[in-house]
Amino acid sequence: MDRPPSDIEALIELMARLPGLGPRSARRAVLRMIKKRGQLLQPLSEAMVKVAATARECVNCGNVGTSELCAICADPRRETGEICVVEDVADLWAMERSQVFKGRYHVLGGTLSALDAVGPDELRIPRLVDRAKTEEAREVILALNATIDGQTTAHYIAGELEALGVRVTSLAQGVPIGGELDYLDDGTITAALNARKSL
Amino acid sequence: MDRPPSDIEALIELMARLPGLGPRSARRAVLRMIKKRGQLLQPLSEAMVKVAATARECVNCGNVGTSELCAICADPRRETGEICVVEDVADLWAMERSQVFKGRYHVLGGTLSALDAVGPDELRIPRLVDRAKTEEAREVILALNATIDGQTTAHYIAGELEALGVRVTSLAQGVPIGGELDYLDDGTITAALNARKSL
Ligand SMILES: [Zn+2]
Ligand SMILES: [Zn+2]
């Protein structure tokens, strides 16, 4: 059996470690890169070198930026006394795309998980409690995923912040805009019914 | 709205152009790379630089290799008088993994497509006809996808090679090993029934 050249196999193996890609899609991706050397392969490797040199974690909130403080933490207009807690940076970007939240974030870097032995110290929760004090936060909004681990984490954080007299809220659960009931799971429908509002 | 740093946005945009990745999975992939800078981001950029420097298309068959002739075309043991025609290099690799074919390949680089205006000259078909003559091929095996475009291409190639007195065959169509009838489309079942064999 002839195998792909070893440099190509090494690249396929690395690509297959990315989330959302398996061995088959990694092979297809690498072949596309080779076909589009000038438009894809070279720009990708250059973009990676740049990101490796410039990207860093914000020391305050865990967001990705290019300085010690991310653009949001460095922006005085976002010092609103509201901190939105998210699981990871992708969730922060999703919140920012909605353009509705004007405060600052706190990126946990995961959720508490008994199974994976993830405790509060692995999650920047102590740092969140510090921030709630030093930034004199009025409200901490928990924008965590509606999973069991996400909800366990939310309850744990609410308990930690209660003593400080900070208001702790969480995103409403319900039917997504444009969502069809028939495609929703029972838990979502139950949550939406329990949180029903008068028109 | 705060946007991701521009270097990161540029990398996400490039990643999203790879087959199998959309904007969301590209964002997740880039965040994973940043988290695993030493294990993923730096090795990936280095692997891409290497592949960009070494990978080249075989002048004989269109396979990917590191010299003018790919490893298969350069191997005298594979001069068996059989040429297996595939749509792309991923299909060649799939054939090689099955370890059953001992001859050489010809990579078309696509299929004929009226819709996308892909004609024989875009597909290395003239080069295949040349090879069938100069390599005195006894058999050309068409291992093309069982799509309409794949089958159109197969018939066109068969017509071109007929005049040379080369035997042209194609992979059998039927039920895949382990395939459950209930999950197969009607066309596959029809093909399998028409090609039924006595036990
Ligand atoms: Zn920050
Ligand atoms: Zn070759």
Q: What is the ipTM of this complex?
A: 0.86
Average pLDDT over residues B144-161: 90
Sequential DSSP letters for B58-78: -TTT--EESSSS-TTTT-GGG
**Residue B116 pLDDT grade (very low, low, confident, very high; cuts 50, 70, 90):** confident
CB contact under 8 A, B55 and A8: yes
Structure tokens given for A199? 């028109």
Q: What is the DSSP string of B152-192?
A: HHHHHHHHHHHTTT-EEEEPPPSPPTT--GGGS-HHHHHHH
The alpha-carbon radius of gyration of chain A (Å, integer) is 21
What pLDDT is attached to residue A131?
Answer: 96
Is B52 in Cβ contact with A41 (below 8 Å)?
Answer: yes
Q: In this structure, are residues B84 and B106 in contact, taking their beta carbons and an 8 Å threshold?
A: yes
Residues of A in contact with B30 (CB under 8 A): 51
Distance, in Å, from the CA atom of A123 to the CA atom of A87, rounded to the nearest integer, reads 9
CATH number belonging to domain B6-54: 1.10.8
CA-based nearest distance A36→chain B, Å: 10
Q: How many angstroms separate the CA atoms of B8 and B15, rounded?
A: 10
Tell me how long chain B is.
199
Give, as one character, the DSSP assignment of residue A3.
-
**A46/A92 Cα distance (integer angstroms):** 26
CB A111 within 8 A of CB A152: yes
Q: Is residue B181 over pLDDT 80? A: no
Residues 50-69 of A with CB under 8 A from B: 50-52, 54-55, 64-66
| Cβ A125 vs Cβ A140: under 8 Å | no
- The residue-averaged pLDDT of A50-59 equals 96
From the options 3.30.530.20, 3.40.1360.10, 3.30.2320.80, 3.40.50.880, give the CATH code of B64-170: 3.40.1360.10
Q: Which of A105, A32, B23 is nearest to B9 (CA)?
A: B23
CA distance B159 to B155: 6
Nearest one of B123, B114, B140, B130 to B87, comparing CA atoms? B123
Return the pLDDT at B148: 87
- A/B interface, count of CB pairs below 8 Å: 160
Which of A7, A49, A73 is the mutation pick for testing B, counting most B CBs within 10 A? Answer: A7
Asked if A45 and B49 come within 8 Å (Cβ–Cβ), the reply is yes
Per CB-CB distance under 8 Å, the chain A contacts of B102 are: none
Chain A CB contacts of B64 under 8 Å are: 4-5, 8, 31, 34
Q: What is the pTM of this model?
A: 0.85
pLDDT of residue B117: 85
| Residues in contact with B103: Cβ distance below 8 Å, sequence separation at least 6, in sequence order | B78, B80, B81, B82, B83, B84, B141
By mean pLDDT, which of A39-43, A143-147, B157-161 is the weakest? A143-147
Residues in chain A: 199
Residue B74 has pLDDT above 70, yes or no: yes
The residue among A122, A27, A50 whose CA lies nearest residue B51 is A27
Interface test with A, best of B48, B73, B78, B93 (most A CBs within 10 A): B48
- Domains of chain B, by residue range, sit at 6-54, 64-170
The Cβ-side half-sphere exposure at A2, using a 13 Å CA radius, reads 24
Lookup: tokens for A149: 């681990």
Region A117-123: what's the mean pLDDT? Answer: 87
Q: Which of these, A35, A12, A2, lies nearest to B71 by C-alpha position?
A: A2
Calculate how far, in angstroms, residue A43's C-alpha sits from the geometric centre of ligand 1: 28
Return the pLDDT at B138: 93
DSSP reduced 3-state for A27: helix
The overall average pLDDT reported for chain B is 90
B94 in contact with chain A, both atoms CB, cutoff 8 A: no
Q: Which ligand has an atom closest to residue B78 CA?
A: 2
B136 Cα to the center of ligand 1, angstroms: 68
B135 touches chain A (CB under 8 A): no
Return the higher-pLDDT residue of A70 and A114: A70
CA A41 to chain centre: 27
